[in-house]
Amino acid sequence: MINGSKLDLSQTAILRPATPDDVPVLFQLIQALAEYEKLSHEVSGNPDHLKQHLFGSPSYIEAILAELKGKAVGFALFFYNYSTFLTQPGIYLEDLFVLPEYRRQGIGKALITHLAELAVSRGCGRLEWSVLDWNQPAINFYQKIGATILPDWRICRVTGPSLTALGNP
C-alpha cells in the first residue's frame, strides 16, 4: 500500500494514504485523540496548517487512514527521524489512534504493522513513538506487538514563549 494503493485488512477495513480531501476528517480524528488523552486544551492548530504540512512543498508529515465501511475510524501520522548510532533514517509515529468503538478489531495493529512495512521498504532502521505513562491499555498493546518501552528516556520539549525566547537570543 505505497503511493495511494489500498490494502484490505479484512472484508471491510481499508488502510490508505490520506489525501487532501481527507484533511477535515483527519483533523476531527486528531481532536478525538486529544480528547481521549485529556489534552483538548493543547490543540491549537487547524486543518489548513495540517493540509499544508501534509501536502505542501516541502511536506513534513504523512498520514494513513483506516476506514471501515467507508468511515474513517483511525489514523497514523508519522515522519522521518534519524539515528546517528545506526546511521539510518527511521520513522517516528507521532500519533496512532482508533476511535474507541472500533478498537479490538485489529485496526491499530494493522496501522502499526503497515508503518513497520513502510520502514523496512524505505530502508529505515527503526520505528519509534511515545506513549503516555498512564495509558496502560496502549502500553500493553505495544508490548504485545513486540515494542520495548524505554524507561530511561524522557521527552524534552520547548514551545511557545520559551521557544521564541530561545530562538531569538
Q: What angle do CA 156, 27, 2 make, to 5 degrees?
A: 85
Of the candidates 80, 92, 102, 142, the residue annotated as catalytic is 142
Catalytic residue flag (residue 142):
yes
Q: Are strands 88-98 and 127-129 parallel, antiparallel or unpaired?
A: parallel
- Bridge partners, 17 (sequence order): 64
Three-state SS letters, the chain: CCCCCCEECCCCEEEEECCHHHHHHHHHHHHHHHHHCCCHHHCCCCHHHHHHHHHCCCCCCEEEEEEECCEEEEEEEEEEEEECCCCEEEEEEEEEEECHHHCCCCHHHHHHHHHHHHHHHCCCCCEEECCCCCCHHHHHHHHHCCCCCCCCCCCCCCCHHHHHHHHCC
Q: What residues are labeled active site? A: 142
